């Protein structure tokens, strides 16, 4: 392309010279015309070192829907998890698929236990589902093996200084409980009720005694006067 522009510049310059020398006499103009024609022929036949630009073909991301392969959720559960990678312990959940839902398929894991599907809400628009929970259609299709994504880095765990933690550990001291001594057996006593003192005294004697005491007191009071 660069050499082509250089040739065009030379042709334009020669054209300007032709117009300039057009007013010269006929013989001189013919000689100049022949000279310019030879020079143009030499430039035209000279090998041009043109640079060839080759555009590298950019990889195109094939849509899973274009392959015509899709999965259908057939589990008895109301929904299944869609994970970031082919593992239920390493990769986090990025979404769910309801029972009976369908999704286009990209491929399968190297072991065949997981299937990579098109899932727009996941990073890069791809997610993984557990193969026993879905059905691949059309039946008998061979799925391409897809490499799992990088394992997510687990969050950093805080470490505790064991010396500092030992200061807050309290070891309880065991104390001996007092021995239980049963109380002595109480000895029961049988009491017999004693008869009333006045039970054997007749009522008449009691009345006479009270009468004598009354008379005696009366006499004493008269003597004191």
Q: Are strands 134-137 and 79-83 parallel, antiparallel or unpaired?
A: unpaired
- The residues with which 145 forms a beta bridge, in sequence order, are 108
pLDDT (tens digit, 9 = 90+) per residue, 48-68?
444 443 333 333 445 656 678
pLDDT tier for residue 178 given thresholds of 50, 70 and 90: confident
pLDDT (tens digit, 9 = 90+) per residue, 1-52?
445 555 666 666 666 666 665 555 566 666 766 777 777 777 666 554 444 4
> What are the percentages of helix, strand and coil residues in the chain, rounded to 5?
35, 15, 50
pLDDT (tens digit, 9 = 90+) per residue, 113-144?
999 999 999 988 999 999 999 999 998 899 99
Give kind and range of the element (H or E) at residue 137. strand 134-137
Residues 99, 101, 103, 105, CA torsion sign: positive
Q: What is the pLDDT of residue 28?
A: 65
Residue with tokens 């986090």: 92
Check: pTM over 0.95? Answer yes or no. no
Count Cβ atoms below 10 Å from residue 149 Cβ, excluding itself: 16
Comparing 12-26, 130-144, 159-173, 182-196, which segment has the lowest mean pLDDT?
Answer: 12-26
Residue with tokens 């599907």: 117
């Amino acid at each position: 392309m660069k050499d082509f522009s250089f040739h065009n510049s030379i042709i334009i310059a020669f054209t300007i010279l032709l117009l300039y020398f057009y007013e010269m006499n006929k013989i001189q103009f013919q000689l100049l015309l022949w000279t310019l024609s030879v020079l143009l022929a030499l430039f035209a036949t000279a090998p041009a070192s043109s640079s060839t630009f080759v555009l590298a073909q950019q990889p195109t991301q094939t849509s899973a829907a274009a392959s015509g392969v899709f999965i259908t959720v057939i589990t008895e559960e109301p929904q299944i998890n869609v994970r970031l990678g082919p593992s239920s312990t390493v990769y986090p959940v990025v979404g769910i698929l309801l029972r009976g839902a369908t999704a286009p398929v990209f491929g399968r894991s190297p072991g065949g236990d997981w299937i990579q599907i098109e899932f727009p809400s996941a990073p890069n628009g791809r997610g993984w589902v557990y193969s026993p929970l879905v059905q691949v259609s059309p039946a008998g299709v061979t799925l391409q093996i897809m490499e799992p994504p990088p394992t997510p880095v687990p969050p950093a765990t805080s470490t505790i200084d064991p010396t500092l933690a030992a200061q807050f550990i309290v070891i309880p001291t065991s104390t001996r409980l007092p021995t239980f001594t049963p109380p002595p057996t109480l000895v029961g006593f049988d009491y017999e009720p004693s008869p009333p003192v006045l039970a054997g005294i007749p009522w008449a004697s009691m009345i006479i005694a009270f009468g004598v005491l009354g008379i005696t007191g009366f006499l004493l009071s008269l003597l004191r006067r």
